Amino acid sequence: MMTYANISNSNAHTNALAPPCNLTRLLVMPVRQLIRNPRSNVPVQKLKWSIERASNEFKLAQNTLRKYLHQGGVEPDEDGCFSTLQICECVYGDLRAERLRKERELTKRYALQNQITEGSVLDRHQLMRTFSVIADAMVTRINSATEVPRTVREDLLRDSATWPDAVEETVSRQTKYPRSRDGQEQDEEGDV
């Protein structure tokens, strides 16, 4: 093993200002090779995986890995190999897109909670319960009012029976999402 003292002694008989030989060799090496960790078993060039090697490394069956790669629309390079990024995106999904989707959903949730807190949104089920109590009280009073002619009472009862439909119609006009009928999607105009 050569120490600094040995290096400086070996250079003593040559030019004193010249760097040692091994230092000169280090200076002309590419930067990639200089920063590579000597304990790493990963080569400097990009890794390329065959299906067999990747399935072993990622603990997946070869057919399962092929299915994920096919679903991801990934094509092998000219050697029939895949990059680590391609395999990770197909096996684990696009994490950035999932985080973005989650953030958007949380934003929508917080906005809805703020609207509820401010009172600009009503709970439809609670509103329907309240209307049901009011409607029951009105029906009881209308039926017990003998001084009102029978035809008028029937008209009042028929009109009060349309309140739930009116609430549903108001809800469907206010929503920003298209409603579906019988599991079929609607287009922009509301047609099925």
- pLDDT truncated to tens, each residue of the chain (192 aa)? 444 444 445 544 555 555 555 555 555 555 555 555 677 777 777 888 999 999 999 899 999 999 999 998 999 999 889 998 899 888 888 778 888 999 999 999 999 888 878 877 777 788 888 888 888 888 888 888 888 888 888 888 888 888 778 777 877 777 666 555 555 555 545 554
Structural domain for 150, as ranges: 122-174
The dihedral built from the CA positions of residue 55, 59, 65 and 71, taken in this order, carries a sign that is negative
> How far is 57 from 174, CA to CA, in rounded Å?
53
Residue 145, φ and ψ in degrees, nearest 5: -85, 95
In the prediction, which pLDDT does 11 show? 47
In the prediction, which pLDDT does 192 show? 47
Greatest extent of the chain over all pairs of C-alpha atoms, in Å: 130
Q: What is the mean pLDDT of the chain?
A: 76
Residue 86, φ and ψ in degrees, nearest 5: -60, -45
Q: Is there a single domain that holds both residue 10 and residue 49?
A: no
In the prediction, which pLDDT does 120 show? 77
The dihedral built from the CA positions of residue 101, 107, 112 and 116, taken in this order, carries a sign that is positive
Q: Is there a single domain that holds both residue 67 and residue 107?
A: yes
Q: Is there a single domain that holds both residue 60 and residue 106?
A: yes
> How far is 192 from 187, CA to CA, in rounded Å?
6
Residue 78 domain-assigned?
A: yes
Characterise 165 by phi-psi region: left (phi > 0), alpha (psi -120 to 50), beta (else).
alpha
Q: Is there a single domain that holds both residue 111 and residue 80?
A: yes
Q: Is there a single domain that holds both residue 126 and residue 92?
A: no
Residue 134 domain-assigned?
A: yes
Q: Is there a single domain that holds both residue 163 and residue 142?
A: yes
| b/e sequence 36-65, b meaning 16+ C-beta within 10 Å | eeeeeeeeeeeebbebeebbeebebeeeeb
> How far is 177 from 105, CA to CA, in rounded Å?
15
From 83, 86, 72, 77, select the one nearest 49 (Cα to Cα): 83
> How far is 93 from 73, CA to CA, in rounded Å?
12
**Number of structural domains found in the chain:** 3
From 47, 65, 43, select the one nearest 55 (Cα to Cα): 65
